[in-house]
Structure 1
């Protein structure tokens, strides 16, 4: 894939007080290149409990390819491609929710716990063009 039709990819997860922060970060790193910086922001929940938000923004083309390569390992990649109309919004952002527990084990599955948001390049910035660019990138990564 010569060029990658994404401006950036954000990967984010919440780490609740009942979870081990190192394990949640390890799950997040399943999708990131080695030694990639993960941002950490500590917040308080409604009842005063600690919630840590772990996130990373990938912008470099090689790093974007790495994330797409990991995403293409989904067993449900055909489902993901079929749902692109529902997963790309009017701002040309592509969303996927991934299983945090599976990611901790190094597996890639749709589920809850990790959020992947990718800003799709589209000129002009139209949703339909973004859907086709996302489809093309995912199919190329799968090949």
Structure 2
């Protein structure tokens, strides 16, 4: 795949007070290239508990290829491709929720805990074109 049909890919995970922030960062790094930078933002839950938001944005084509390569390791990648019409919105953004516990074990699974959002390149910027470009990128 010479070009990558994405403007950027964002990954985000919440680290709750009961979780070890280094483990959550390790889970997020399961998808990221080695030198990717992770931002940390502190927040507070409804009852005053600490929530740390870990996020990374990748805009470089090689780094996006790395993340897409990890996504292609999904056992149910065919299901993901079949669901692209529901996973790409009218703004050409592609969404996937990934299992944070599995990522900590360096396994790639759909689930909860890590959110991937990618802005799909599509000209014209229409959902159908974005779905097709995302399908090609995940093949």
If the TM-score is normalised by the length of the shorter chain, which range does it land in?
over 0.9
* Structure 2 unmatched ranges of 5 or more: none
Deviation at 1:95, TM superposition (A): 0.3
SS where residue 24 of structure 2 aligns?
A: helix
1:36, distance to aligned residue in structure 2 (A): 1.0
In the alignment, structure 1 segments of 5+ residues that lack a partner are none
SS in 2 for 1:3: coil
CA distance in 2, matches of 1:37, 1:98: 19
Aligned residues: 139
How many Å apart are 1:80 and its aligned residue?
A: 0.1
TM-score of the superposed pair, with normalisation by structure 1: 0.97
Partner in structure 1 of residue 8 of structure 2? 8
CA distance in 2, matches of 1:102, 1:75: 13
Show CA shifts across 1:31-52 (max 9, x none). 0000210000000100000000
Q: Distance in 2 between matches of 1:52 and 1:87?
A: 26
TM-score of the two chains, using structure 2 as the length reference:
0.99
CA distance in 2, matches of 1:102, 1:76: 14
Query: RMSD value over aligned CA atoms?
Result: 0.3
Distance 1:16 1:92 in 2: 30
